Amino acid sequence: MGARPSVWLRQLPNLISVGRLVMIAPIAVALLHRNWPVAIAMFGIAALSDGADGFLAKRFGWQSNIGALLDPAADKLLVACVFVVLAVGGSVPLWLMAAALGRDLVIVCGALAYRLRFGPLKVRPSLVSKINTLCQMLFLLCVVVRREIDLPPAWVETSLGALTFATISTSGLDYVITYGCRAKT
């Protein structure tokens, strides 16, 4: 029989999520000061950490109730902050920022309403939601990288923006339909 991992090792995915939360303010400051190299490095690390915590949690069975809250909260706050700072600075269209924030607001308000009306809600991110998070992070990273080195070409940024909007719309609608149907049963 194999040795069980220490309590601390089992918390590694949660610590990674907390690290992502801690990185949000420095990323925002770097973006506000147009310190693109620092913003690229920090946002890149934060984006990669999203995959790392999920992989570790699933691969080793280190999921926890706190992790189920921390990971999506860290993702939403990171993406929302970067969207807002870039939109205010004119690097991202305001309507795209509003769509991203609106989707998350609908999801959070819907989950709260469901909880108040029906009780606890077991939420698992759908595949389209995971794709949406990936698209948002790739788009935002592309925007920041283009500000520093003017690569990739502008059409890549535009295409990623369009794909991001499509996945924002699709995943938002998916959540509304899925949890609306659960509320009916």
Q: Is the pTM of this model over 0.95?
A: no
pLDDT above 60 for 3: no
Pick the CATH number of 7-184 from 1.20.120.1760, 1.10.3720.10, 3.40.50.10860, 1.10.8.60: 1.20.120.1760
pLDDT per position as a tens digit, 86-144? 999 999 999 999 999 999 999 888 888 888 888 887 777 889 999 999 999 999 999 99
Binned at pLDDT 50, 70 and 90, residue 2 comes out as low
154-184 and 94-118 helices cross at what angle (nearest 10)?
20
- The structural domains of the chain, with segments of one domain joined by +, span 7-184
Residue with tokens 């939360």: 21
* Residue bearing the bigger pLDDT, 183 or 29: 29
pLDDT per position as a tens digit, 145-183? 999 999 999 999 999 999 999 999 999 999 889 888 877
Taking CA 35 as the corner, what is the angle to CA 94 and CA 70, rounded to the nearest 5 degrees?
65
Q: Which residues of 153-178 are buried (b: 16+ CB within 10 A; e: fewer)?
A: eeeebeebbebbbebbebbbebbeee
Residue 136 and residue 77: Cα distance in Å, rounded?
Answer: 12
